[in-house]
Amino acid sequence: MKAIVRDKFGGPEVLHIVERPLPVVKPGCVLIRVRAFGLNRAELYMRRGLWGEVAEVSGIECVGSVVVDATGMLPEGRMVVALMGGMGRTIDGSYAEYVVVPATNVLALETTLDWTELAALPEAYAVAWTCLHRNLEVTAGQRLVVRGGTSSLGLAAIDIGSQLGAEVIATTRRPDRENMLRAQGATHVVMGSGELSAARGWPGGKVDVVLDLIGNSTVLDSMRATRRGGRVCLAGFLGGLTPLAEFDPLAQMSSGVQLSFFGSFMFGTPQFPLSDVPMQKIVDRAASGCYRGRPASVFCLAEVPIAHELMERNEAPGKFVVLI
């Protein structure tokens, strides 16, 4: 099979397409023929070596068809989505024609969406749905801030939040992407990455909930912008992985504001079973046009290094997808 392999840590140039043996099916796992997969910023960190030793073949999600299910639950040819379960971290991931994934991280689906449209959904919409429904408990009429709105996860959160009836405030550093954010469902678009209350386009007042995808550099400001009894969920690191220096909760955290974190690497564990995410309903809503998740660009397997380069230059207005 063909696969994209990282021969060392570094820039996009360390990724090469090579021939590898078909992966061996292990107990409790599913061998999937990969039809398409979405690209994620986490894979840039893995490629650079910022998350320690990781698998040579990256990729944390895919869509495709079952070849063999060692658990006997899924028949050959069944359409599935797969995400996390150690893919790209502890086991070889989805940058390949075939991948072996723990059955706990595989969901069967039926849809009329084509492979590229389907591949734009799993990771982004599963994480956004979990953050908004579980961590933040967003309800109609609430004011929701999505920091990092033009990322694939940000766009998914804006989409889901607006469908829930929230007043969505999206942030971006790119004035040229304001129309895209509004088309996705944002009521307000705030420019800049600094203090929310002083940013251009801020509608004023405190908000109910914040999904912070920028990370450590903005999470305290997100809490300051949130009302007493409100919630902030940290679920991304678009601003980098540098930790907070001399973090002092007593002096820096806002009283009465709840702060939580969600990491998608928890999907498939007993605490966060993937079945908790209504993926079939998400896919159905995308197929009907209710959800607006679509690939921003589609690449072939050999073009993965080009896609990585564009992502590092922040030239990915949404989800990049690779079609096998």
Q: SS3 breakdown of the chain: % helix, strand, coil, rounded to 5?
A: 30, 30, 40
CA 55 to chain centre: 19
Residue 246 — pLDDT band, cuts 50, 70, 90? confident
Task: Answer whether 299's CB lies under 8 Å from 306's CB.
Answer: yes
Record the tokens describing residue 184, joined without a space: 């996705």
pLDDT single digits (tens) 83-130? 999 999 999 999 999 999 999 999 999 999 999 999 999 999 999 999
Instruction: Return the DSSP state at 96.
Output: B
Q: Can you give the pLDDT at residue 248?
A: 86
| Residue indicated by tokens 């498939």 | 268
Determine how β-strand 258-261 pairs with β-strand 2-6: unpaired
Angle, helices 41-48/304-312, rounded to nearest 10 degrees = 100
pLDDT at 245 over 90: no
pLDDT single digits (tens) 8-57? 999 999 999 999 999 999 999 999 999 999 999 999 999 999 999 999 99
CB within 8 Å of 102: residues ≥ 6 apart: 28, 29, 30, 85, 86, 268
Q: Can you give the pLDDT at residue 249?
A: 86
Q: Which of 65-69, 153-157, 312-316 has the lowest mean pLDDT?
A: 312-316
Task: Answer whether 39's CB lies under 8 Å from 60's CB.
Answer: no
Q: Can you give the pLDDT at residue 38?
A: 98
pLDDT at 265 over 90: yes
Q: Which of 167-171, 201-205, 228-232, 248-252 has the lowest mean pLDDT?
A: 248-252
- Distance, in Å, from the CA atom of 232 to the CA atom of 244, rounded to the nearest integer, reads 16
Q: Which of 99, 79, 82 is nearest to 91 (CA)?
A: 99
pLDDT single digits (tens) 177-189? 999 999 999 999 9
CB within 8 Å of 118: residues ≥ 6 apart: 36, 63, 81, 109, 111, 283
- Position 226, amino acid: T
- Ordered structural domains, the chain, with CATH: 2-120+272-323 (3.90.180.10), 123-262 (3.40.50.720)
